[in-house]
Amino acid sequence: MAGLRQTPLTCSGHTRPVVDLSFSDITPFGYFLISACKDGKPMLRQGDTGDWIGTFEGHKGAVWGATLNRDATRAATGAADFTAKVWDAEKGDELHSFSHKHIVKSVDFSQDGKTLLTGSNEKILRIFDLEKPEAEPRQFLGHTSNIKAVRFNKDCNQVWSVSDDKTLRVWDVNNCKEVHSIEMPSAPGSLELTSDGSIFTATYGNFTVFYNAENFEKIKEIKAPAPVNTASLHPSKNFFVCGGVDFKMYKFDYFTGAEIESFKGHFGPVHCVCFSPDGELYASGSEDGTLRLWQTTVGTTYGLWKCVAPDIDSGDSNSSTINASGAQTTGTATEAVKVES
């Protein structure tokens, strides 16, 4: 499959920048993808194809954060209307709305889906008990500027946060105290935990940096050609992808730091990226108002990407591809079908 061109699936429907993305785990119905957008209308899609399923309507401002619980039965969003909302992801109904005193930038479910973590421009982290939504949330105080992203660790006994105050902080869930703080050279842009819970990935400036989730030690940092806003480590931990201000998606070898490949598909800065739970694709969101799905291994048959090997016996050096509508085309690159919502 050498020389095949990366052709992302372009998922339209949003009207303003896409600023956050999150996949569910693999469920009996496949896996799902939620997008947060400044148009105030977070969208749910089938994860492997990008097909639109529904839009969560109720926020009165830009939506900055969005996530799904593990089995994709619940969604959570954080917005500029100073609320975090929890939704029935199967019916689209709003279940809870939690008021804040400033913009909610990031949300995350615990592993069991029973609690919701939020980070806001109040410089406060909160954990809400979804089984007792009327109860006062636990609060974590210490950041001195806007919180950009928050995540539970694997055991949900700690939470991690990054902020415009140029720190990454770790907090104890039980006593709401800070247990560790990491100073960064510039404000971090993103925060992600690997599926096995062993590594936290963050970005700042031109760098993607990796931390051991157990002892908080820096494992390594790798420099990109341009400032990056977001990065995601593949489930295999062999490579990672990142994107930023130059509109490109980069893939780097995790061990050597060597750039493997880069692709330009967006028409604006890349704000968010994450790998699917099976690692077969990654999704990116951009200032251009689209989210795009990219193949991890270009040329494989997966989702809406169809690739058939060349007919060697007939001497045909081109590969034949069949798109989702059944129409057959010919070319040396895998062709993708644009997903309209």
| Range 102-111 average pLDDT | 98
Q: What is the share, in percent, of the chain residues with pLDDT greater than 90?
A: 85
Q: How many structural domains is the chain composed of?
A: 2
Q: Is residue 37 part of a domain?
A: yes
Same domain, 313 and 266: no
Cα 311–chain centre separation: 38
Tokens standing for 145? 């500027």
Same domain, 152 and 181: yes
Q: Is residue 144 part of a domain?
A: yes
pLDDT at position 6, please? Answer: 86
Read off the amino acid at residue 71: D
Same domain, 180 and 154: yes
How far is 149 from 138, CA to CA, in rounded Å?
17
Assign 2 a pLDDT band (cuts: 50, 70, 90).
low
Same domain, 290 and 307: no
Same domain, 176 and 277: yes
pTM: 0.89
The rounded mean pLDDT for the chain is 90
Least confident of 49-63, 139-153, 327-341: 327-341
Of the three residues 297, 316, 331, the one that is the final residue of a domain is: 297
Same domain, 258 and 320: no
| Burial class of residue 315 in the structure, from the number of CB atoms within 10 Å of its CB (0-12 exposed, 13-18 middle, 19+ buried) | exposed
Which CATH number do you get for residue 110? 2.130.10.10
How far is 101 from 94, CA to CA, in rounded Å?
20
User: CB 129: neighbour CB atoms within 10 A?
Assistant: 14
Tokens standing for 197? 């819970």
Containing structural domain, residue 125: 13-297
Asked whether residue 60 carries a pLDDT value surpassing 70, the answer given is: yes
Q: What is the share, in percent, of the chain residues with pLDDT greater than 70?
A: 89
Same domain, 98 and 43: yes
Strands 18-23 and 248-253: unpaired
Assign 4 a pLDDT band (cuts: 50, 70, 90).
confident
How far is 95 from 130, CA to CA, in rounded Å?
10
Placement of tokens 């089938």 in the chain: 46
Same domain, 307 and 257: no
Same domain, 194 and 277: yes
Assign 229 a pLDDT band (cuts: 50, 70, 90).
very high
Q: Is residue 3 part of a domain?
A: no
Same domain, 195 and 326: no
Q: Is residue 119 part of a domain?
A: yes
Same domain, 276 and 311: no
Q: Are 27 and 54 in contact (CB under 8 A)?
A: no
